[in-house]
């Protein structure tokens, strides 16, 4: 099967070939049947399809056996016996999600074998670290694919993301397209859900990175406990050849217990293989950053135009990976200076007297970390503009309001994605949280008007943060997404001011 056929899935394969390496029981039919397509969505089934019965949060693929058989499916992979026409082959496996990952890898011609694969897991830092790694490697001449929270990037093609880690079939298809495009490597965010649901099974990462872990994603539809969350994250260190781990994390020992990879570490700790010393904050008009001296496996000064101690960890992660690609010191230094991530402490030029930035912080934990980081730069005032999403827990609104009221000098409450709720009702909930503090605030429901207020009332030395939207370029209202990119709003406001002679 050539690469184009694998990518499009046009060339039939025998079912037995696709099941190679899996434990299974053939309940009925013939393993020599020719499979023309592999699907896990009953709507996409057709003549010659292999249908994978996946138990999802909303629906169970086993319930659609009759439908896909009528459409011409020739084989089924199930987790339990099902009633199917005699001409349909039925194969039972223990876990159909794991089987889907392995079958998908085979269907697309094991594309991970043609790429250097880099997977990053952790509560925070995944997105920034992936873009830093991509920036460094591309600066050194590599072709790099990316899969993450914001988008999948294959050459000039950018596909907005719906999940941090896509389903395994989508992962393998993206790998196939990357290999066919001529990519040398791929860097991807690996979520705990992605590991738990075997979205990255079917291949072994060349490099697996652990950034940090804090209690998060714990609830009825995610992880039952912090211990379960941690155990899912730790799976990456049993699915990679080389593990690169934050030595400073409080859960380092638990994360690395049972690892099967060669282990390397980074951090501030003297025990780390790659470590940062002598960190210092950098503050210039409209620009914040951080610098440090790198020691250990490499030794040179580093400066990044992204603020905060977490930027040191993210850059250490990137350096630790790129060291294995024989990237020169000069290339690393240049690339880190240029590295930017859309919506992650992204500075947007608006004034020479104050700093304006956009960040995705959309819960209390992220907002607290961000505001405390920016406080270290001793701004004249720390101004925080944010709203909260509708159809979400009210507790998040109270918590974010209280966090901003306590840590910011001025809070500008506005609208985020109200969805099916009344924007004013959401704002009132945020005000309840702020009411628990002595924090000053103003409320301006229209987000563009709120941003204009922030810009027009900016004072010399202020840091103004627009929180919550980050990389998003839309506002969701009543089930519809309307175009709204904060960068565009800022540009429009500045142009309107210029025409009006305000500046």
Range of the domain at 215: 111-338
Q: Give CA–CA dist 279/299, Å, rounded.
A: 14
Per-position b or e across 423-433, b if 16+ CB within 10 A of its CB: beebbebbbeb
In this prediction, residue 214 carries a pLDDT of 79
In this prediction, residue 503 carries a pLDDT of 52
Q: Does 367 share its domain with 470?
A: yes
Q: Which range is least confidently modeled, 251-260, 298-307, 338-347?
A: 338-347
Q: What is the mean pLDDT of residues 430-452?
A: 98
The pLDDT of residue 416 is above 90? yes
Q: Does 199 share its domain with 136?
A: yes
Per-position b or e across 76-111, b if 16+ CB within 10 A of its CB: bbbbeebebeeebbbbbbebbbbbbbbbbbbbbbbb
Extract the tokens encoding 55: 């138990």
Q: Does 78 share its domain with 176?
A: no
Structural domain ending residue among the three candidates 300, 315, 338: 338
* For helices 394-407 and 423-434, angle between their N-to-C axes, nearest 10 degrees: 50
CATH code of residue 375: 3.90.190.20
Q: Does 128 share its domain with 262?
A: yes
Q: Does 30 share its domain with 156?
A: no
Q: Does 278 share its domain with 375?
A: no
Q: Does 289 share its domain with 182?
A: yes
Q: What is the mean pLDDT of residues 317-323?
A: 97
Q: Does 144 share its domain with 278?
A: yes
CA angle centred on 253, ends 252 and 259, rounded to 5°: 100
The 10s digit of each residue's pLDDT in 380-412 is 999 999 999 999 889 999 999 999 999 999 999
- Looking at residue 314, the DSSP 8-state letter turns out to be H
Q: Does 50 share its domain with 122?
A: no
Q: Does 78 share its domain with 222?
A: no
CATH code of residue 23: 3.40.1390.10
The 10s digit of each residue's pLDDT in 119-157 is 999 988 899 999 999 999 999 999 999 999 999 999 999
Q: Which of 145, 169, 147, 201 is nearest to 61 (CA)?
A: 169
Average pLDDT score over the chain: 93
The 10s digit of each residue's pLDDT in 175-198 is 999 999 999 999 999 999 899 999
First to last CA, the chain: 63
The 10s digit of each residue's pLDDT in 194-224 is 999 999 999 999 999 999 987 554 455 565 6
Q: Does 405 share its domain with 487?
A: yes
CATH code of residue 125: 3.40.1190.10
In this prediction, residue 502 carries a pLDDT of 60
Number of domains making up the chain: 3
Q: What is the mean pLDDT of residues 160-170?
A: 91
- Looking at residue 244, the DSSP 8-state letter turns out to be E
Structural domain ending residue among the three candidates 287, 314, 338: 338
Q: Which of 291, 398, 299, 327 is nearest to 133 (CA)?
A: 327
* For helices 126-139 and 329-338, angle between their N-to-C axes, nearest 10 degrees: 130
Extract the tokens encoding 471: 């990389």
Extract the tokens encoding 277: 């010393």
Q: Does 124 share its domain with 76?
A: no
pTM, two decimals, is 0.89
Structural domain ending residue among the three candidates 338, 360, 394: 338
Which strand ranges, in their side-by-side order, compose the sheet holding 205-210? 157-160, 151-154, 144-147, 185-189, 116-121, 205-210, 240-246, 262-267, 274-284, 287-296, 300-304
Extract the tokens encoding 365: 């934990």
How far, CA to CA in Å, does 427 sit from each of 231, 382, 392, 399, 457? 38, 20, 13, 13, 21
Q: What is the mean pLDDT of residues 427-442?
A: 98
């Amino acid at each position: 099967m050539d690469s184009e056929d694998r990518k499009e899935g046009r060339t039939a394969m025998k079912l037995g070939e696709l099941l190679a390496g899996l434990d299974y029981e053939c309940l009925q039919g013939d393993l020599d049947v020719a499979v023309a397509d592999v699907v896990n969505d009953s709507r996409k089934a057709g003549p010659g399809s292999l249908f994978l019965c996946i138990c999802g949060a909303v629906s169970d693929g086993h319930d659609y056996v009759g439908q896909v058989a009528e459409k011409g499916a020739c084989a089924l992979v199930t987790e339990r016996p099902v009633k199917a026409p005699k001409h349909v082959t039925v194969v039972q496996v223990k876990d159909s999600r794991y089987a889907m990952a392995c079958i998908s890898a085979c269907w697309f011609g094991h594309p991970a074998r043609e790429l250097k694969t880099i997977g990053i897991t952790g509560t925070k830092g995944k997105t920034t670290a992936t873009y830093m790694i991509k920036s460094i490697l591309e600066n050194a001449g590599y072709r790099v694919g990316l899969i993450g929270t914001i988008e999948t990037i294959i050459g000039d093609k950018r596909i907005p993301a719906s999940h941090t880690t896509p389903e395994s079939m989508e992962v393998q298809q993206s790998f196939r397209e990357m290999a066919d495009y001529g990519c040398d490597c791929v860097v991807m965010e690996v979520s705990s859900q992605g590991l738990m649901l075997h979205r990255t099974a079917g291949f072994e990462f060349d490099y697996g990175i652990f950034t940090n872990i804090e209690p998060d994603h714990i609830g009825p539809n995610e992880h039952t406990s912090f211990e379960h969350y941690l155990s899912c994250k730790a799976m990456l260190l049993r699915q990679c050849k080389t593990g690169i781990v934050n030595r400073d994390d409080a859960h380092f020992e638990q994360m690395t217990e049972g690892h099967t990879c060669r282990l390397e570490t980074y951090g501030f700790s003297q025990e780390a293989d790659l470590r940062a010393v002598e960190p210092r904050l950098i503050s210039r008009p409209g620009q914040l950053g951080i610098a440090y001296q790198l020691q250990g496996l490499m030794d040179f000064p580093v400066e990044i135009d992204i603020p905060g101690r977490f930027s040191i960890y993210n850059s250490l992660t990137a350096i630790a990976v790129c060291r294995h690609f024989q990237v020169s010191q000069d290339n690393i230094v240049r690339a880190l200076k240029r590295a930017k991530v859309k919506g992650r402490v992204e500075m947007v030029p608006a004034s020479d007297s104050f700093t304006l930035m956009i960040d995705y912080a959309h819960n209390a934990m992220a907002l607290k970390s961000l505001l405390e980081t920016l406080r270290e730069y001793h701004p004249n005032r720390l101004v925080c503009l944010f709203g909260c999403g509708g159809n979400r827990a009210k507790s998040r609104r109270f918590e974010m309001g209280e966090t901003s009221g306590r840590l910011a000098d001025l809070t500008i409450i506005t609208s985020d994605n109200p969805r099916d709720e009344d924007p004013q009702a959401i704002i009132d909930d945020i005000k309840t949280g702020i009411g628990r503090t002595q924090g000053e605030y103003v409320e301006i429901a229209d987000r563009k008007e709120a941003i204009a207020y922030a810009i027009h009332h900016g004072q010399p030395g202020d840091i103004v943060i627009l929180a919550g939207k980050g990389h998003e370029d839309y506002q969701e209202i009543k089930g519809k997404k309307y175009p709204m990119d904060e960068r565009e709003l800022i540009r429009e406001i500045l142009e309107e001011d210029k025409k009006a002679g305000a500046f």
